[in-house]
Amino acid sequence: MCGLCGASLTSYKRGKERSNRAGLRCAKHTGGCGHLTVDYERLESYVFDTVIASLEENPRWQQRSAEQDPAHDAELARLEGQKANLEEHARRARSLFVEGLMPEQEMRQQVTRINTELESLNGRIDSMLGTTVLSAAMADGLDWRSWNVSRRRNFIRLLVAQVVVDKWPEGMATGLPKRASESVDDHRARVEAHQREGIRQRVTIKTK
C-alpha cells in the first residue's frame, strides 16, 4: 500500500535502461497518486526477512504453528472433495450444452453459479493451506528463498495484514557512484546495503 495516498501498489516492469527489474508503483490509472515506486525484489526480501525474524522470536506464532488440529486434514479433504464435485458439475453442464441437451442460457447460469461457489471454496482452502504452510515452513527452517510463489503468497497472507511503503527518505542519496578504489563487487554490495537501509526506513509492516 502507498504511504502517501493509501492506494494499493501494482506491479510493473522497469525499462531496459533500468536493468529490467520488477517494481511496484502507485499508479494513477488504478486510482493512486502516481508518486511512488519501489523495487519488488528488495521489498520482498525485506518483508520476508523481517517477518521471519519476528516469527522466530514470537512465542505466540510458534505455538500457533505447533498446534496441529487433527480435524484439519479431514476438513481440507472435505473441501477438496466439494471442489472436485463442483468442477465435475460444470463439465457436465458444458457437455450437455454441446450435445444440444441444455440451452445455452441455462448452461451459462449454472457455470456462473458454480464459479461463485468455487471462488469461496478456494478462499477457504487457501486459508487452511496457509496454516499448513506455516507449520511446513517452520519445520523446513524458514528458508523463504527456496519457496515457490504460492507458498510465499500463503505465508504473507497468513501473517501480514499490510505493508506500507513511504517515499525514499529525504536527504538520503539515491545513487552511490563507484569509488576508484573499490571493486565492482564491493560497489554492488555497498549499493545493496544502502538500498536495504532505504527500504528499512520506507517500509512499515503490520502483522496479523
Number of residues that bind Zn ion (CB under 5 A): 7
Cell of 98: 454441446
Closer residue to Zn ion (CB): 7 or 76: 7
Does residue 5 bind Zn ion (CB under 5 A)? yes
Interface residue with Zn ion, options 23, 24, 27, 32 (CB under 5 A):
32
Closer residue to Zn ion (CB): 126 or 166: 166
Interface residue with Zn ion, options 22, 33, 77, 98 (CB under 5 A):
33
Task: Kindly state the smallest distance separating residue 101's Cβ from Zn ion, in Å.
Answer: 53
> Binding segment for Zn ion among 28-36, 61-69, 114-122, 126-134 (CB under 5 A)?
28-36
Does residue 4 bind Zn ion (CB under 5 A)? yes
The Cβ of residue 120 has, within 10 Å, a number of other Cβ atoms equal to: 9
Cell of 128: 487452511
Q: Following DSSP, what letter does each residue of the chain receive, concatenated?
A: -BTTT-PPPEEEEPPGGGTT-EEEEE-GGGTS-S-EEEEHHHHHHHHHHHHHHHHHH-HHHHHHHH---HHHHHHHHHHHHHHHHHHHHHHHHHHHHHTTSS-HHHHHHHHHHHHHHHHHHHHHHHHHHHHHHHHHHHHTT--GGGS-HHHHHHHHHHHEEEEEE-PPPTT--S--PPPTTS-HHHHHHHHHHHHHHHHHHHEEEEE-
> Binding segment for Zn ion among 1-9, 66-74, 99-107, 183-191 (CB under 5 A)?
1-9
CA–CA gap between residue 178 and residue 56 (Å, rounded): 37
Cell of 208: 496479523
> Binding segment for Zn ion among 30-38, 65-73, 137-145, 164-172 (CB under 5 A)?
30-38
Task: Kindly state the smallest distance separating residue 38's Cβ from Zn ion, in Å.
Answer: 11
Closer residue to Zn ion (CB): 24 or 55: 24
> Binding segment for Zn ion among 3-11, 54-62, 107-115, 172-180 (CB under 5 A)?
3-11
Does residue 9 bind Zn ion (CB under 5 A)? no
> Binding segment for Zn ion among 23-31, 123-131, 140-148, 184-192 (CB under 5 A)?
23-31
CB 151 within 8 A of CB 178: no
Task: Kindly state the smallest distance separating residue 67's Cβ from Zn ion, in Å.
Answer: 39
**Interaction site with Zn ion (CB under 5 A):** 2, 4-5, 7, 26, 32-33
